[in-house]
Structure 1
């Protein structure tokens, strides 16, 4: 599939608290949201849709990255998000995560098959949780790798919560060499959109 940027932005502590309450986790919403340390998302629309107003959830794909103060908080959020998939998608079926060995593997991974495409939730050793929804697994893996394995100096800077909160995920993706190599596969319109937004900063 070819994709174009549909929307992007940050997700703050209040957003996380509301999300947790929506998923039925009211008792821990306050404590867990206080462990939030940054988050951003980009939604993509499958190319070929004529107008934004005509897009349905089935036409959209989501990449959501969040960072947490502790491994326990990241683990809890990943588990809650993964469990909520079955509430949000009537036909959701949890599938075994693809096997992974070596140092470049998530701590945990959950993959679900839904009527709108795969949902993948991964917890990483730096307390990051990466969620992709409705991308095919190949595209999801390339986007994840672009987020995980960019420029080392930039990645180190992103460990700081302030930097994570201030930079939208689409700008961070555009800066990554791995994502630059992937741009052609996402389509020329994404490249144009990201360049235009970067100039407007």
Structure 2
């Protein structure tokens, strides 16, 4: 579906995958070990969780503020996630990083990835997959942060997201966070990647 190597003039990699596959862990490691990467921030209407800080990596806003940003065309993509809170990627943050010559990584859900494919088709799309469905369920239940109802909702969403894997340019299986990070950094640079391509 896209070229094998991202356009060097606009190096944007979009990372997506099902809930609990480990996207947050991967992004946390990337921020710590690869500070040269520009990682697009996220604006969300979900409540702030214990230990989180506004602006790193989420900006927490109310529904009215989010609506104003939509109306002003400030999002590269936005979506309702798990049928509840809204999340969006600020267009300006991505464009500023690209203008400065920095590679950009955007982490979004499936809805967001599909929107970015329309708004920025030159981006390279990577699907982060679990080693197996059973492992995904174990990770989701093991987090202990969601109610039973929320877990079922997320599992239903995850099934839909796994079925969309073929829409992506490459798949990276999250068996080791360090390896996933190296794959993504390779994709954001000019060196070839060993990610499985469709």
**TM-score with structure 2 length normalisation?**
0.31
Structure with bigger strand share is 1
Structure with bigger helix share is 1
**TM-score with structure 1 length normalisation?**
0.30
Q: Which has the higher contact order (CA 8 A, sep 6+)?
A: 2
